[in-house]
Amino acid sequence: MLACLRAFALSLLLVAFAGPCLAGPFEDAVAKLANDDFSDTEEAIGTIASSGNPLAYPIIGALKDERLFADGETKKVFIKQDDGKVIDAATGAAIDSLPDSASAVSLNNRLRRTVDAALGGLTLLSPDLATRLAAAQSVFKSHEEAVLPTVEGALAKETNRTAKTALGEARAAILLFKSDASEVDKLEAVATIKARGDQEAMAMLSDVGGDQPVAVAKAAAAGVASIQSTLAIWSTVQNAWYGLSLGSVLLLAAIGLAITFGVMGVINMAHGEMVMLGAYTTFVVQEVIRTRYPGMFDYSLVIAVPLAFLVSGAVGILIERSIIRFLYGRPLETLLATWGLSLVLQQAVRTLFGPTNREVGNPSWMSGAFELGHMTITYNRLWILCFTLAVFVILLAMLRFTSLGLQMRAVTQNRRMAASMGIATSRVDALTFGLGSGIAGIAGVALSQIDNVSPNLGQSYIIDSFMVVVFGGVGNLWGTLVGAFTLGIANKFLEPVAGAVLGKIAILVLIILFIQKRPRGLFALKGRAVEA
Amino acid sequence: MLTSINHDIATSFSRRRWLAAAAGLVLGLTGFTGAKAADDTIKVGVLHSLSGTMAISETTLKDTILFLIDEQNKKGGVLGKKLEAVVVDPASNWPLFAEKARELITKDKVAVVFGCWTSVSRKSVLPVFKELNSILFYPVQYEGEESERNVFYTGAAPNQQAIPAVDYLMKEEKVKRWVLAGTDYVYPRTTNKILEAYLKSKGVAQDDIMINYTPFGHSDWQTIVADIKKFGSAGKKTAVVSTINGDANVPFYKELGNQGIKATDIPVVAFSVGEEELAGLDTKPLVGHLAAWNYFESIKTPANEKFIKEWQAYTKNPKRTTNDPMEAHVIGFNMWVKAVEKVKSTDPDKVIDALPGTEAPNLTGGVSKMLPNHHITKPVFIGEIKADGQFNVVYKTKDLVPGDAWSKELDGSKDLIGDWVGKKCGNYNVKTNKCLGSGS
């Protein structure tokens, strides 16, 4: 460690004073990067990472992010820094701008692994905890023997408990595969890795081959078996979570339909297109933000939700006023008219935005995942679940506690009675349809985060939405909720057993059988509303 | 519920039947784009979906042919006549493909048709092209196991895409365990059958191959991505070979990115993901995942740079991407023009006989040649996804690879060849020296 530090200080001095006139192994290695040849780059990374030069980290970091540029003619290599400034990679001197002939040094996956391993070694002592953790993780994966002294040094200095565990695991991984490590060390390493207990630990232990001492191989095999049985339990939990997540997507897509079809009784085949309009609204909002206010990108969805509600709601009201109100009580024509309408809307969007997918980005708070025990929960799914439940509660409260909600229920339950009580029924019809469509639009905002934003977006959800509403019981929001989650969870438990295709078929068959038995769904409405 | 609907049908049909009729009429009209033509032109049929699910991929190909015709007419057309495009919209509806093909050949009397994307649409138009003896250029990578007299396959056969990709992963990434994931239809199923046989012939155990199919437009990939992760944690280097079709790719890659599967851990090599599909994605989490094609937009050759410039000028969109099937159309179109000029006629029989052996430069610097089995020679490139949505070519075959109509990996087809020059047969068995004919 001391020697390492000394070399570090020395190289600092060298860079500060001797600077550009020196052509050591480091400078040669940097020049090699300019060849843009994969094996040359690999060699150069090794030399640079072990050089102890303070520029090593910036160079390799830039290489990873494709910010490292090289000029094949002059063999000069440049780093484009995050702030847009350019420096010479060999000397650290600032450069006005990149020469035109310079191009980014290319990587392939093998090199990316080398880069990650090198970066891991270089950042083990970083003051930032997250960087240290990432470094320990990449050392764990690469388990390069050469990094062992650095890992041990870092371990001695580390005060944070999480980082300490991670470093311990990294050290264990190295020792396990180090040919001259003692059997005691190796057994201890197996125990440490086994305690980690996740899939990567299992992968590493299964990798222990016949060249290891018998006791170590045995311990590793036992470790694999124990991790496997723990993971099997976790995978059930994970399936349940996937089911909830799928259920929330189904619920979100169906909840608008539960109003237009469930409450109003309109077979609305254009429901999916309302969802699509919501998704395209998100796209337009993000496009405006990208070009005008790039700093606000993380708020794009918050802005898109009310806008999508207004856009889809307005289109819904327009449809109701211009088409559907002439067709009340005639389900067949409504079906045909709204189906035609859905094709018209799709083609209109196709003409306006083009037939290809549009890019809707995930804001940073919706990207990535976190580990809960031994299962991975992705943020976007978690947010969608919360969002769906919020929409559901708000909708329920609106129907129950506002006067519009009261009027809606009155009109759908007994139109003539409501009319004679002075309720403007046609106005209420339009608003109800607008509300259902608006909620479909909101669903589009959320779905744009997990699916394609293309003119066909709505089509893929329309069947599922009808399935959920019919299964849950027409005219009952709670039924829709229970129906969506039941179908979601059933689907996700069937999928690992039967596969995605058969699983979907099995669900459809089950629903057909169920509807035979209970034609009105899970929660049938009772009383006078049924006859209406 | 049922009875009330029946009642509604009975009362309503008599009153507002016009509405349904009107809706039908409107729908019929939207798909109709007829063309009247003067006699001094040669007509070229374009049979690509401009609406429905496949419009996402096929619209670009229609534009490509229009662009190529435009360029050719600037050079004076063919045989002294101008070319004229007849564009129809089969609307992603497979039976409609056959109907529109018949319309193009009999009513519009086109000399050649460029069209189709999915294998099922190609199979649907095959009998029409045979019966009416016309020519179809098919520009998309497909599962092989076919060689027809009236069809010229300018896309990749499995040995020009799937097998080189697997070879690359075996050699360069030392992959030992394989997930073959695909959408549930004929192209992925056949390709995976070929790949499975190929992997086994290379000594991969059954336990190290996981095959998974998903429905069209599958959007909830949580379980499958978690399964892949699990399969990849057996201590051997794992890769995913994806034949997942178009639309389902976006949620698949999003889920991969979100669950943190990096290309350095489990690389995914895709056969249906190109520049166009990536345009709808944030590609930063996908850097390093691979695609195998015969063309990439990012390949720097003078021919490609010129093509991209002219294409973007023609479409008036400086960001418009190019892709592999477009290049296939470019090659196919130029081959057809050459063959027609060689025999000085657009007569299908003459052109079909003249096409094998015809050469046309591809956009990546080589010269592709039409083979007697009606497939062409193509280079194979493996590209890694870059942060900007383009591909970085990490591997290229030394020579052009000739397309095999019949896979050498499958028992049923390893003895078959297509040879429309010598044997005049699409499925000639070299062991028994017999032509199986159209019955097989």
The residues near A441 (Cβ < 8 Å, ≥ 6 apart) are A256, A274, A275, A277, A278, A281, A308, A309, A310, A311, A312, A313
Across the range A452-469, mean pLDDT stands at 88
Residue B347 has pLDDT above 90, yes or no: yes
* Torsion angle (degrees, nearest 10) of CA B40, B44, B50, B54: 180
The reply to whether A501 touches chain B by the CB within 8 Å rule is yes
The residues near B19 (Cβ < 8 Å, ≥ 6 apart) are A333, A336, A337
* Torsion angle (degrees, nearest 10) of CA B357, B361, B365, B368: -30
Least confident window among A196-200, A233-237, B324-328, B420-424: A196-200
Least confident window among A113-117, A127-131, A354-358, A452-456: A354-358
Is pLDDT larger for residue A113 or for residue A282?
Answer: A282
Q: How far apart are CA B412 and CA A143, in angstroms?
A: 46
Confidence bin at A355 (pLDDT 50/70/90): confident
Across the range A81-94, mean pLDDT stands at 83
Q: Are B219 and A451 inside 8 Å of each other by CB?
A: yes
Q: How far apart are CA A319 and CA A103, in angstroms?
A: 54
Kindly state the DSSP code that residue B347 receives in the 8-state scheme: -
Q: How far apart are CA A196 and CA A171, in angstroms?
A: 13
Per DSSP, the three-state class of B324 is helix
Q: How far apart are CA A482 and CA A468, in angstroms?
A: 9
Question: Pick from A96, A67, A95: which is nearest to A81 by CA?
Answer: A67
pLDDT digits (tens, 9 = 90+) for B234-252: 878 899 999 988 678 888 9
Across the range B133-155, mean pLDDT stands at 95
Q: How far apart are CA A168 and CA A158, in angstroms?
A: 10
Count of Cβ atoms closer than 10 Å to residue A6 Cβ: 11
For chain A, percent of residues with pLDDT exceeding 70: 94
Count CA within 13 A, CB hemisphere, residue A269.
Answer: 16
Chain A partners of B56 at a C-beta cutoff of 8 Å? 355-357, 454, 456
Residue B173 has pLDDT above 70, yes or no: yes
What ipTM is given for this predicted complex? 0.78
Q: Are A454 and B212 inside 8 Å of each other by CB?
A: no
The residues near B230 (Cβ < 8 Å, ≥ 6 apart) are A199, A231, A235
pLDDT computed for residue B6 by the predictor: 39
Residue B53 has pLDDT above 90, yes or no: no
Query: What global pTM score does this model have?
Result: 0.81
Q: How far is B36 from chain A (nearest CA, A)?
A: 24
Question: Which of the given ranges, A54-58, B25-29, B59-63, has the highest pLDDT on average?
Answer: B59-63
pLDDT computed for residue A244 by the predictor: 94
Token pair 């470019």 is found at B330
Question: Which of the given ranges, A14-18, A470-474, B221-225, has the highest pLDDT on average?
Answer: B221-225
Q: How far apart are CA A480 and CA A484, in angstroms?
A: 6
* Torsion angle (degrees, nearest 10) of CA A331, A335, A338, A340: -140
Counting one residue from chain A and one from chain B, the pairs whose CB atoms sit within 8 A come to: 189
Chain B partners of A206 at a C-beta cutoff of 8 Å? 233-235
pLDDT computed for residue A212 by the predictor: 82
Q: How far is A77 from chain B (nearest CA, A)?
A: 20
State the Cα angle at A125 between A124 and A126, rounded to 5°. 95
pLDDT computed for residue A23 by the predictor: 63
Count of Cβ atoms closer than 10 Å to residue A471 Cβ: 25
Average per-residue pLDDT for chain B: 87
pLDDT computed for residue B39 by the predictor: 65
SS3 for A155-186 is: HHHCCCHHHHHHHHHHHHHHHHHCCCCCHHHH
CA distances from A515 to A473, B283, B370 (A): 10, 44, 57
CA distances from A349 to A439, A465, B281, B298 (A): 19, 21, 19, 30
Burial class (CB in 10 A: 0-12, 13-18, 19+), B157: buried
Confidence bin at A53 (pLDDT 50/70/90): confident
Q: Which two tokens stand for residue A228?
A: 């496997």
Please tell me which of the candidates B229, B235, B264 has its beta carbon nearest to residue A206: B235
Cβ atoms of residues A158 and A169 within 8 Å: no
Token pair 């709670």 is found at A478
**Which ranges constitute the DSSP H helices of B267-323?**
275-278, 302-314
Across the range B9-20, mean pLDDT stands at 43
Confidence bin at B386 (pLDDT 50/70/90): confident
Q: Are B217 and A206 inside 8 Å of each other by CB?
A: no
Average per-residue pLDDT for chain A: 86
Q: Are A355 and B55 inside 8 Å of each other by CB?
A: yes
Q: Which amino acid belongs to residue A164? A: K
pLDDT computed for residue B261 by the predictor: 86
Count of Cβ atoms closer than 10 Å to residue B48 Cβ: 28
pLDDT digits (tens, 9 = 90+) for B254-273: 888 888 888 888 999 999 88
